[in-house]
Amino acid sequence: MGLIVDTGGMPRVRAYAHRGGAGEATENSLAAFSRAVDLGYTHLETDIRPTRDGVALLHHDASLGRTTDGHGPVRDTTWEGVRRLTLADGSTPLRLEELFEAFPDVHVNVDVKEDGSIPALVEAVQRCQAWQRVCITSFSPGRLRRVRSLIPAGTPTSAHPWEVAALRLAATGAPLPRVPVRPRRIQIPMRALGLGLATPDVIALAHRHGLAVDVWTIDDEVDMEALIDLGVDGIMTDHPTRLRSVLERRGLWGSGGE
């Protein structure tokens, strides 16, 4: 599960800078990721979209308009067109390879936002030989099943929503279905559709099945403290300075493993 350090009985918590720390710097920018790494973060989170010519672009939205000075869908724009755009801080949008290359010792959680991202993802991770420092996730069960069929055995992936739902039901007594490829992590919000997801029963069941539990996107210190007390393995935040401060106060700051 990636829990490699024990501090008085409490494992250290894997801290993720969500989109590089979007509450404190321009999301998915080199400056944001650099700032997080300078703070001591060893785990970064990002999203990818495919350009028209198959480049894995670090970008959350389907369209370019919210975070760049461009417009239109990412998938309709070539990489040459994207690299002429600027983010809010004046920098150029990044390719996935650039993130791996800039921070060769950092783990990257990648959310695959479109089917067209899959070939670009596999090519980028293969070129950088980053299989053991990437965790791949997606909200689409079909997309994640396809990713799992293409990547080397043992590459970490996170649970898709159907797998999360099955675990949530199993925590109430339902049987947990057998699946051909088990994810390594379950990455969830604190609650969804009015139901608590990051509950003691769900966390305990996940741990019994060897699944690490990461919770997103947590920016409130009270919630951070509560999740630490529940025994979660990782917290994703848009405010990396805030999460680091909480973990330092608890004596838990440091690498949380893979």
Q: What is the mean pLDDT of residues 154-181?
A: 84
pLDDT digits (tens, 9 = 90+) for 205-251: 999 988 999 999 999 999 999 999 999 999 999 999 999 999 999 99
- Which of 18, 59, 107, 160 does the annotation list as catalytic? 18
State the Rg of the chain over Cα.
18
Structure confidence at residue 128 (pLDDT): 96
Q: How far apart are CA 169 and CA 172, in angstroms?
A: 5
Residue 5, pLDDT > 50, answer: no
Lowest mean pLDDT among 26-35, 109-118, 137-146, 188-197: 188-197
Query: Which distant-in-sequence residues (6+ apart) come within 8 Å of 149 by Cβ?
Result: none
* pLDDT at 124 exceeding the cut of 70: yes
Between 172 and 21, the more confident residue is 21
Would you place residue 256 in the very low, low, confident or very high pLDDT band (cuts 50, 70, 90)? low
Label residue 12 by pLDDT band (50, 70, 90): confident
pLDDT for the residue numbered 4: 27
State residue 150 phi and psi, 5-degree precision.
-105, -20
Q: Is 160 a catalytic residue?
A: no
Q: Is 239 a catalytic residue?
A: no
Find the catalytic residue in 43, 60, 160, 207: 60
DSSP summary character for residue 174: P
Q: What is the average per-residue pLDDT within 48-53?
A: 97
CB atoms closer than 10 angstroms to residue 242: 18
Residue 75 reports pLDDT greater than 90: yes
pLDDT band at 180 (very low <50, low <70, confident <90, very high): low
Residue 7: band (very low, low, confident or very high) from pLDDT cuts 50, 70, 90: very low
